[in-house]
Amino acid sequence: MKMWLPVALAAISMSGCGGWSTVPMPGGVAYSDNGQYLPPQAGPGLVADPQAAIPDVPEPIGFKPLVDRSHRSSSSAGRHVKYWYQGQADSAEVQLFYRRQLPKDGWHFVNVQHPADGSTVLRYTKGREALRVRLNQTHAVTTLVLTIEPKRPVVRAVP
């Protein structure tokens, strides 16, 4: 029996019944849900793309848009934007990117939420608009959803 056969059988048995793992590892090859190559981060820290789709909401270089899920409109009340992106970066680093970048564009931090689905939501306001930055990391890929809507009026209870 050739020497490589036991090694190959051991590797297959270690990979589990489902065959070889296709889970991207940090710094490895990863693709977005719509098949776009997601380049690994080149160095420490994320950098804002100078050609962001939303002028006052930066997006990190290397994040790819999921155009089929994204939409934008406006009304007399303001903008209605929901843009989806995916990139190969740690969710905590993307949070730090937005905590540093958004105030430069006039956005004021409101709070951070951690819904039951495991995502993180950063909430901001600017004038009459509200911004939600939703982050969800699966293996090495972070999904980013930017939502801008008119602020909802605050209803106060009358004593």
Q: Who contacts 93 (Cβ-Cβ below 8 Å, separation ≥6)?
A: 41, 45, 46
Greater confidence, 22 or 92?
A: 92
* pLDDT given at position 158: 72
The answer to whether residue 102 is domain-embedded is yes
Greater confidence, 154 or 146?
A: 146
Considering its fold, how many domains does the chain have in total?
Answer: 1
Residue 14: is its pLDDT beyond 60? no
Residue 63: Cβ within 10 Å count: 25
Residue 55: is its pLDDT beyond 90? yes
- Tokens standing for 150? 């008119």
Which element (helix H / strand E) includes 97?
A: helix 91-101
Distance CA 159, CA 42 (A): 57
The answer to whether residue 37 is domain-embedded is yes
Q: Residue 118: name the closest of 149, 143, 98, 85 by CA.
A: 143
The answer to whether residue 15 is domain-embedded is no
Residue ranges with strand state E in the chain: 30-31, 37-38, 64-65, 71-75, 78-87, 108-113, 120-126, 129-138, 141-150
The answer to whether residue 16 is domain-embedded is no
Residue 135: is its pLDDT beyond 80? yes
Structural domain span for residue 84: 23-150
**Which domain CATH number covers 63?**
3.40.1000
The answer to whether residue 40 is domain-embedded is yes
Mean pLDDT of 10-29: 41
**Has this prediction a pTM greater than 0.85?**
no
